[in-house]
Copies of this chain bind each other. A is one copy, B any other.
Amino acid sequence: VPGERPAGPGKRIPEATVVRLPVYRRILSDLLAEDRQSVHSELLAELARVNASKVRKDLSLLGSFGTRGTGYDVAFLLTQIDRALGADDDWPVVVMGIGNLGTALVNSEGFSTRGFRVLALFDVDPGVVGRQLRGLTVRHIDTLAELTGLGGSAIGVVSTPAAAAQEVTDALVDIGVSAILNFAPHVLSVPPHVLLRHVDLATELQVLSFFQLRRRGETDARRPTTRGS
């Protein structure tokens, strides 16, 4: 076999695993704060609310970092997860729309740490432009093109109102961001080379209500529900 492994032991890490890694990461960092040395898959599983085989399968995809009979070294595992997630790299982030959501994002723990460097904040509201946030001055969106210093893989965050989202996204693509995280309730259109991820806050509520409805249908299958046809 010819040698070409970007990182880890050459196995393809499925997306399902990737979204669990930050969960393990947080738990490990909490355990580390409590001075815990090692952890085994069963405990990690309980804390992450998944099952133990899943934890072991997930972690084994990053490499063989555990010790049989003992478990995993908390600190070491943490560094390995960070490496797999790219937290050792430097990811420039640009945030578009500094309303309540944008402000919450910029202030959120984990947004400023773990390899993300918030480079610049943009808005259109004259009441917001010029304001200071985490050491950065909010600039007007029209000056986006003046922004330099994005590496080849900058991330744009869209936290504008829905109506502005596509326009702002196009502008981000123009200045060369290679990934966009969208919080507007819209499916954005981007060229194929741009990675796109969409978080719709309302969707999450809808999913919850669906499962409540289903559960209700399971427990009392007879009684008419509130909806009246």
Contact = CB atoms under 8 A, between A and B. Distances in A.
Interface of A: 4, 6-7, 13, 15, 18-19, 21-23, 25-27, 47-49, 83-91, 93, 99-101, 103-105, 107-111, 114-116, 153, 155, 157, 162, 178-179, 181, 185-187, 195-197, 199-218, 221, 225-227
B110 A104 contact: no
A85 to B, nearest CB: 5
Contact of A89 (B23, B185, B199, B213): B213
A208 B187 contact: no
Contact of A206 (B6, B7, B49, B87): B87
6 contacts: A6-B213, A6-B218, A19-B207, A21-B210, A23-B203, A87-B206
Given A155-B209, A187-B48, A216-B153, A114 B21 contact: no
Nearest to A213: B86
A136 B212 CA distance: 25
